[in-house]
Structure 1
Amino acid sequence: MTTTRSARPGIDPELQPLLDLLPATDLNISTLPGVRGAAATPPEGVDLLLASGRAVDRRDVKDISPDGEPVSLTVLSPADRDHSVPAPVVLWLHGGGMVLGDRFSQVDIPLEWLDRFGAVVVTVDYRLAPEHSGTVPVEDCYRALVWVADHAPELGVDPAWLVVAGTSAGGGLAAGVTLLARDRGAPSVAAQVLVCPMLDHRNNTVSSRQFAEGPATWSQAQNAFGWRSVLGEEHREGERHTAVSPYVSPALADDLSGLPPTFVDVGSAEVFRDEDVTYASRIWAAGGEAELHVWAGGFHGFDALVPGARISVAARQARTGWLARLLTTNER
Structure 2
Amino acid sequence: MKKFTALLMITFLAAAMLVPVSATDKPVITLQPQNSVYPEFASALWSVEATGENLSYNWYIVYNGTAYRTADSFAENHPWLNGVTGSGYGSNETGNTFFVDGIGSALDGALIYCVVSNEAGSATSESAYISVSGKKFPPQLNVPASVTVEQDTVLKLFCEAETSGDDSVSSYAWFETPTGQLKDIVAIGSYGGQPEEDPVLVCDTSTPGTRYYVCYVMTKLGGVAYSSVIPVTVTEKTVVTPPPESSDLTDSQATSAPDCTSEPATTLPSDGETSPAGSGGETSPAGSGGHTGTDSVPEEKGDSRGTVIIVLAAVCGVLLGSCIVLAAAAFRKKK
TM (norm. structure 2) is: 0.22
**Structure with higher RCO (Cα < 8 A, 6+ apart):** 1
Return the TM-score normalized by structure 1. 0.22
Richer in helix (by share): 1
Q: Which has the higher strand share?
A: 2
Q: Which of the pair has more CA radius of gyration?
A: 2
